[in-house]
Amino acid sequence: MTFQRARSAEQRAARRQAILATAAAMLTEMPVADVTLNELSRRVGLAKSNVLNYFDSREAVLLELSSDELAAWVADLRDTLSEDSSALPTGERAERLVAGIVGTLARRPVLCDLISAQAAVLERNISTATALTFKRAAAVAYEELIAVVVGVLPELGPEGAGRFIATASLLAGAVWTHSHPVPAILAAYEADPSLATIRMDFEPALSDALRALLYGALPRS
């Protein structure tokens, strides 16, 4: 694919979307760590210097994708938990919230991979302007998530829901990383069945972690 020079605002916007779409497609094929600016430039049909006219860095591209993925996940979670459950006991509503979060995240491996790389990788090598754009989008998603959580478990209140969400996001990234190890670790698990006790499976491991977190946050009766 090759492009002519973008001259209008519409053409520049279309170029940005082409870069983002190409990066998104790459993330369905490979983990975040393997997405390079050179390969992204080659696939989108631009010189690397031209890609950098639209984004500060590889990390800036991936952060914008992360914002898009996060917004889509919040909408998915809201829809999943939209049914009125106020008549159910607290414990059942808590389980429903955990199942909703884990189930919707499991369907979004790209988002999980981006979350796992956020602080250590994606938030490096970016400008202040890029950081502001990303964090402002994250703040919007955070407030929307608080509303979703409080809608299911009003007992938490906005403050408790906020603490739950902040810690749950860290847990999701950590569990995703450990449940999707590199080939050498996978080979070790296959070579020694006794290691199965320390092998982590994303959905049950995250469910257990969120359940412990949530029950610890709920007020005692």
pLDDT in tens, 183-215: 999 999 999 999 999 999 999 999 999 999 998
Residues 91-119 pLDDT 10s: 999 999 999 999 999 999 999 999 999 99
CA distance 14 to 207: 40
> Looking at residue 94, what is its pLDDT?
96
Beta-carbon count within 10 A of 154 CB:
14
127 is written with which tokens?
Answer: 């400008």
| Closest listed residue to residue 200, CA positions, set 183, 177, 182 | 177
Q: Where along the chain do its domains lie? A: 1-54, 57-217
Predicted local confidence at residue 6, as pLDDT: 55
Q: How confident is the model at residue 2 (pLDDT cuts 50, 70, 90)?
A: very low
Cα torsion at 104, 110, 113, 116 (round to 10°)?
-60
Fold of 1-54: Arc Repressor Mutant, subunit A (1.10.10)
pLDDT value at residue 133:
96
All residues at 6 or more sequence positions from 177 whose CB lies less than 8 Å from its CB, including other chains: 116
DSSP 100-147: HHHHHHHT-HHHHHHHHHIIIIITSS--HHHHHHHHHHHHHHHHHHHH
pTM, rounded to two decimals: 0.89
If you search the block for the tokens 């519409």, which residue do you land on? Answer: 10
User: How much of the chain exceeds pLDDT 90, in percent?
Assistant: 90
- Write the pLDDT tens digit of every residue in 131-164: 999 999 999 999 999 999 999 999 999 999 999 9
Report how far residue 81's alpha carbon sits from residue 175's, in angstroms, rounded to the nearest whole number: 23
**Which fold is adopted by the domain 57-217?**
Tetracycline Repressor; domain 2 (1.10.357)
The Cα-based distances of 11 to 16, 43, 54, 77, 113 in angstroms read: 9, 18, 12, 34, 30
Query: Per-residue confidence at 7, pLDDT binned at 50, 70, 90?
Result: low
Q: How far apart are CA 110 and CA 102, in angstroms?
A: 14
